[in-house]
Structure 1
Amino acid sequence: MAVLLPDIMETLQDVNTDVKMKALVFLRNMMAHMKMEEASLIALQLAEKLLPLFDDESSQVRELSISLFKDVMKTVRERSKKKMKKTVQRVLLPLFIRMNDQIKSVAKVQ
């Protein structure tokens, strides 16, 4: 599965909403079944890929990407927290803006 990970993360940039949704669901399921050490390493890469999805035209993609980001944050281990801190600082403003999203489920997921 680790071999497919870069390709799946790249599909998050796809223009097709269905493709992005399937990739997000796959990544969520994959992260849930990984050991914490593996998930922590992937979390750093994945967090960067999720940020552009917070502004996606699809409310479902926005909601799922924000929810997955929240889950990813929980998997980061101590030694990776410093690296993740910079990403989180960059994400806080877009997340704050999303708290006022017109779609209640997107605003609520935070």
Structure 2
Amino acid sequence: ILECLDLSERRGNRVLQILPRHLRSECRERCCLALKALLELTDDSSMTKKMCSLTGSLVELLRDRDGEIVTMTVMVLSFIVLEKDMLIPSPIALQLAESLLPLFDHASSHLNPVQPMLRSFFLPFIQDNSQVQLVSILLFRTLVTLLMEKEKKALKQHVQQSLLPLFFHCQDKNRHVAE
């Protein structure tokens, strides 16, 4: 469906008006489709700037239990944060930082290592979470480096809270997470 959509700026504006409703949908497929459409729209810089209005809804999706939804959400948020001409308002940046912190340990937080039978059953879930973990750490790093000085002071507490969990990930099995 996405390949057939005309996501030019004129039609993209209309799509951006419709997508927030689908981001809040209880239906996983609708939410995934909305996120995929947003990822498609990030190819256009003007559309990415307009997505800033969706950051509140996207930050809420970071709490979802579905690894694919969280991964796509972090990717969309990364594109929004990386947009050079746009600043995310301080309150939203703080909410984003708070929501990213729990994702640093996302890969191991859902399984007890004592349960090997469950471990093999949940292996695909663990791999999704490893990607969530990596992308969230990268987004947090980008967010911290792009904020203005006064915003950094407000974010200081969240950065300090993240240092110890990040330190423990220096020895992570996933080389990219360890870096």
Task: Please classify the TM superposition score into its range, dividing by the shorter chain length.
Answer: 0.7 to 0.9
Specify the SS of the correspondent of 2:53: coil
How far apart are 1:40 and its partner, in Å?
A: 5.8
Gaps of at least 5 residues in structure 2 are 1-50, 108-128
Contact 1:40 1:77 survives alignment (8 Å):
no
Structure 2 residue identity aligned to 1:52: P
Secondary structure of residue in 1 paired with 2:171: coil
Q: How high is the TM-score relative to the length of structure 2?
A: 0.56
The residue number in structure 2 matching 1:18 is 68
Find out whether 1:90 has 2:161 as its counterpart: yes
In the alignment, structure 1 residue 49 sits paired with structure 2 residue 99: yes
TM-score if structure 1 supplies the norm length?
0.88
Shift of 1:39: 2.8
* Count of residue pairs brought into register by the alignment: 107
Partner of 2:55 in structure 1? Answer: 5
Quote the offset at 1:105 in angstroms.
Answer: 1.6
User: Percentage identity across aligned positions?
Assistant: 38
Selected match of 1:77 from 148, 167, 178: 148
RCO higher in structure (CA 8 A, sep ≥6): 1
Deviation at 1:100, TM superposition (A): 1.2
Offset at 1:104? 1.3
In 1, distance between residues paired with 2:160 and 2:177?
A: 20
- By how many angstroms is 1:34 displaced? 5.1
Q: Unaligned 5+ residue runs, structure 1?
A: none
Higher helix content, 1 or 2 = 1
